[in-house]
Amino acid sequence: MRQIVLDTETTGLDPAQGHRVIEIGALEILNRRITGATYHVYLNPERDIDAGALNVHGLSREFLSDKPRFADVAAEFLDFVRDAELVIHNAPFDIGFLNAELVRLEDGPMKQYCGVLDTLKLAKTLHPGQKNNLDALCRRYFVDNAGRTFHGALLDAQLLAEVYLAMTRGQETLGIDIGQPTLATGAPTQRQQRSGVLKVLRASEAELALHGAYLAGLGKDSGDSPTW
């Protein structure tokens, strides 16, 4: 199964108010393995950036002024995600912006190119009543996000990929690398593979006598007979 973990940065919060996509970051997961294939681009929005958005991602209009427009990269972007399942945290936000960009090109929506899995919806199902933003999920699943000073589309996609794989791994691995035999799969344990049977060590007569004396002492101190 081919999945693309994707994140965007934007000029503001609402594409209906003319806000635009200014960064796209995406990476490929194939059969639950991060392949190393990525797609990353900064985009010239041809408009101002809200102060609140600038504080989040740090991408200024000046920095983006010489970058390509969405129309310039749409074909290569769609080729990268085509026929995959997009894995996005709070997918309605990013898909809404990408759909708005495609409408400007008289194309779209994104669902004609790929499916979508919303990891925020999944996280709320797994962890109801808890914080489920990306930073909280990184802490919960021990994903190192120390370098996340600003939000960045490719960095956030990389973090989300690790969180998503951890979040969907399930209990069958019990912390063991994927592909290793576990009790949940019915495979024999390493101890069983070595010997075939479990060796039972029985106490010697001397050890039994010491244990009996210890229990007698407990009974004397407590005024009652031990139950074991």
Do the Cβ atoms of 49 and 62 come closer than 8 Å? no
**Could you list the active site residues?**
151
Strand partners, 118: 88
* CA–CA distance, 60 with 76 (Å, rounded to integer): 24
* CA–CA distance, 143 with 61 (Å, rounded to integer): 32
> Which positions ≥6 away from 89 have C-beta within 8 Å?
7, 118, 119, 120, 133, 134, 156, 160
Buried b (16+ CB within 10 A) or exposed e, 194-212: eeeeeeeeeeeeeeeeeee
Q: Distance from first CA to last CA of the chain, Å, rounded?
A: 55
